[in-house]
A and B are shown apart, each in its own frame.
Chain A
Amino acid sequence: MIYAYAICEPATAAALSRRRGLGGAALRALQREGIAAVYSRHRSLQPRPTAKLVMAHERVVEAVMARGAVLPLRFGTQLGDEDRLAAVLAARRRELLHALDRVRGHVELGLRVIREPDRRTDGGAGERSGRDYLLARVGDHRSAELAARELHAPLAALADASVVRDHAAPPDILVAAYLVDVSRVPDFRRCADELAARQERLRVLVTGPWPPYSFAAVERR
Chain B
Amino acid sequence: MSDNSPIAHGDAAHAEHPAYLRHHFNSVEQQADTANFAMWLFLLTEVMFFGGLFTAYLIYRNWYYPAFVAGSHQLSIPLGGFNTLLLITSSFTMAMGVWCAETRRKSGLVLCLCLTFILGLGFLGVKTVEYSEKIEKHHVPGFHYSLSSFLDPDSDAAAKAAGDKPMALDMARHTEVYFSLYFAMTGMHALHMIIGIAILGFMIVRAQAGAYTSGHVTFVENFGLYWHFVDIVWIFLFPLLYLISRH
A and B interact = no
Q: Which residues of A line the B interface, CB within 8 A?
A: none
Q: Which residues of B are interface residues toward A (Cβ below 8 A)? A: none
